[in-house]
Amino acid sequence: MNSIFELFKIGIGPSSSHTVGPMIAAFRFSKECMERSCVAPGTDVSIARVEVQLYGSLALTGVGHATDNAIVVGLAGCLPDRTSPEVIQSTVDAARKSGRLLLNGQLDIQFDESKDLVWLRNETLPQHPNAIQFKAFRDSGECFLEDQYFSTGGGFVYSREEFDRNFAKSSSDLVVGDSVPYPFRNAKELLQMCRGASASIESLIQANELTLRSELEIDSQLDLLWSVMSNCIDRGCMSSGILPGSLKVPRRAPGIFGKLSQQSALSELAELAVSKDMLPSKLLTESKPGTLTQSDPLAQLDWVSLFALAVNEENAAGGRVVTAPTNGAAGIIPAVLAYYVYFYPGASRQGIHRFLKTAGAIGLLYKRNASLSAAEMGCQGEVGVACSMAAGGLAACMGGSNEQIENAAEIGMEHNLGLTCDPIAGLVQVPCIERNTMGAAKAINAARLAVLYGDGHHFVSLDRVIETMRQTGVDMQLKYKETSLGGLAVNFVDC
């Protein structure tokens, strides 16, 4: 994987590994079914039903993570970046009511969830904790096609054959293609290549991306990512009510937005950002922008927390988000990027692009050398990685050197090491939503420490901290890895 656009995906909530990934897997299997059934015209290859088995973490937390919905709509031919949350809901409702669905949007088949979707909570496949087995059967009952898919975090999906080809021993062995001019595998190589080319991290990423798409496409894709993030913040600030699921968690973002708007309107810098088309935001008209009242010097921090809460509440509600690099941690990068846009003097569209390219470079290091999957790494692989990426992105926008960016990213992860994944009731809500506010604040702190008060020299390298995260993830007990079998998930009831 060489592109940051494989890392930043436009998807829907609440989970990249448990919603986006399974939807893509189901879509791919349904497409394969239709393609194969057309291979021999005239032969009886009609498909009567499909059976899906969910293993391990997907089975344990799949209900709270809407994995069942994702499978249904994926089989019906929907993809997360092309389907609205409303269409997803109506497709699921129709399939549940009728016990049937249109496979890949084309072939009417039986899909009775109570029989055809099997939750194997005590079984795992050796390749990965997030595994799905699909089987399609003919009218005669004979198996027509079967395959396994692995959802390895961040919306990445591999078929059995792809998994075997890409991962020699584990997810850390992902092959780096040599089709790009700078095929860096780790932070040391990234910094060496930057030195050799007298270039910034952003420039190296740009050079790599240019082998895959035009400059215009890169720019418009980056604009689109920020637009989706920004619109998600807007929607989250305006949407009140109770989040889906058994916890009945109330949305907090609109209330906080109301209070903050009264206490301290967003800055004139933000108004400027809107005038420059950097911020497709409704927030400013709602909050009657003026100067940021500094009666509370930490008001900026409150806005950052609001941005993160808004995104993650939207994510929890199944809304449109950017997987950055996962959905559970989708609020951190938008919140820190919004901090840059709203509050940082001299913020620009180029700065937004610099942020995303630099953060993307750091995310690629984690994907290549460890994992983005909470089922493998715990929450350090989601919130920790997003914090590290955001810290590096902000450091770049603050004018940090490559070494200071690497330092910021290292700090961002160092203080998230060991963070467990223990979502209550299997929902991506508690502690997930609030945890994004902490990740965003930590990222800003890390960037400031590295750029304003550091010179790039530091004790622990980013590569070492990534390897430490990987080892910690391997050693972490299963109950803390997106299973809802330990931690807050079992201790939240006050007896």
C-beta separation of 313 from 251 below 8 A: yes
Q: Judged by CB under 6 A, does residue 333 bind ligand SF4?
A: no
CA dist 319 and 337 (Å) reads 20
Q: Judged by CB under 6 A, does residue 390 bind ligand SF4?
A: no
- What is the distance between the terminal CA atoms of the chain, rounded to a whole angstrom? 48
Q: Which residues contact 485 (CB under 8 A, 6 or more apart)?
A: 60, 478, 479
C-beta separation of 261 from 237 below 8 A: no
Helix (H) or strand (E) holding 11: strand 9-12
Count CA within 13 A, CB hemisphere, residue 468.
16
Q: Which among 32, 3, 324 is positioned nearest to 155, based on CA atoms?
A: 324
Q: Which of 71, 329, 332, 465 binds ligand SF4 (CB under 6 A)?
A: 329
Q: How far is the CB of 29 from ligand SF4 (least distance, A)?
A: 25
Q: Judged by CB under 6 A, does residue 421 bind ligand SF4?
A: yes
Helix (H) or strand (E) holding 295: none
Q: Which among 2, 440, 401 is positioned nearest to 182, based on CA atoms?
A: 2
Q: How far is the CB of 154 from ligand SF4 (least distance, A)?
A: 11
Q: Judged by CB under 6 A, does residue 400 bind ligand SF4?
A: no
What are the φ/ψ torsions at residue 160 (nearest 5 degrees)?
-60, -45
Query: Looking at beta carbons only, is 266 or 321 nearer to ligand SF4?
Result: 321
List, as one string, the DSSP characters of 330-373: TTHHHHHHHHHHHHSTT--HHHHHHHHHHHHHHHHHHHHHS---
Q: Judged by CB under 6 A, does residue 423 bind ligand SF4?
A: yes
The residue range among 43-51, 179-187, 300-308, 415-423 that interacts with ligand SF4, by the rule CB under 6 A, is 415-423
Q: Judged by CB under 6 A, does residue 202 bind ligand SF4?
A: no
Which residue has the closest beta carbon to ligand SF4?
328
Q: Judged by CB under 6 A, does residue 60 bind ligand SF4?
A: no
Q: Which of 23, 75, 383, 390 binds ligand SF4 (CB under 6 A)?
A: 383
Q: Which of residues 360-379 bind ligand SF4 (CB under 6 A)?
A: 374, 379
Q: Which of 187, 395, 432, 450 binds ligand SF4 (CB under 6 A)?
A: 432
The pattern of x and - marking residues 449 through 488 that bind ligand SF4 according to CB under 6 A reads ---------------------------------x------
Query: Looking at beta carbons only, is 432 or 465 nearer to ligand SF4?
Result: 432
Q: Which residues bind ligand SF4 (CB under 6 A)?
A: 328-329, 374, 379, 382-383, 421-423, 428, 431-432, 435, 482
